[in-house]
């Protein structure tokens, strides 16, 4: 049986491999929330392909908004697939660190309560 550190390292490596494969296997046709927004705005039909020139019409007047650091899981069109790879690696490691931080915080809180 493997120890905790080996198990965590193996999990992180598997997550990175899946993420890197996903960069190249992902569909260029949006789905989910973005696709629903295109349907609501009349830019596509429910079961149709998204037109290549479709742009979401967003009204940020009087609302909170922000620019994503890594929009669409990339670093922008200038970076190409390399930007997607970097974004996936950075995002996976950041998510890993957040989970490790939460686990550590819960562990410390339970130790102080005992």
pLDDT tens for each residue of 77-92: 788 878 888 888 888 8
Give the whole-angstrom CA distance, residue 61 versus residue 111.
47
pTM of this prediction?
0.60
Using pLDDT thresholds of 50, 70 and 90, give the confidence band for residue 14.
very high
| List of residues 6+ apart from 73 with CB closer than 8 A | 23, 26, 84, 87, 88, 91
Q: For tokens 């609501």, what's the residue?
A: 40
Token reading at 5: 């550190």
Report how far apart the first and last C-alpha atoms of the chain are (Å, whole number): 29
* pLDDT single digits (tens) 89-111: 888 888 889 998 998 899 888 88
């Amino acid at each position: 049986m493997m120890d905790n550190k080996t198990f965590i390292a193996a999990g992180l490596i598997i997550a990175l491999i899946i993420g890197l494969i996903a960069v190249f296997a992902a569909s260029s046709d949006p789905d989910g929330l973005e696709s629903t927004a295109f349907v609501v705005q009349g830019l596509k039909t429910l079961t149709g392909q998204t037109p290549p020139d479709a742009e979401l019409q967003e009204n940020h007047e009087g609302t909170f908004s922000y620019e994503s650091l890594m929009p669409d899981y990339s670093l922008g069109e200038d970076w190409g697939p390399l930007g997607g790879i970097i974004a996936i690696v950075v995002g996976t490691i950041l998510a890993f660190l957040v989970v490790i931080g939460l686990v550590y915080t819960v562990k410390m809180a339970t130790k102080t309560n005992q």
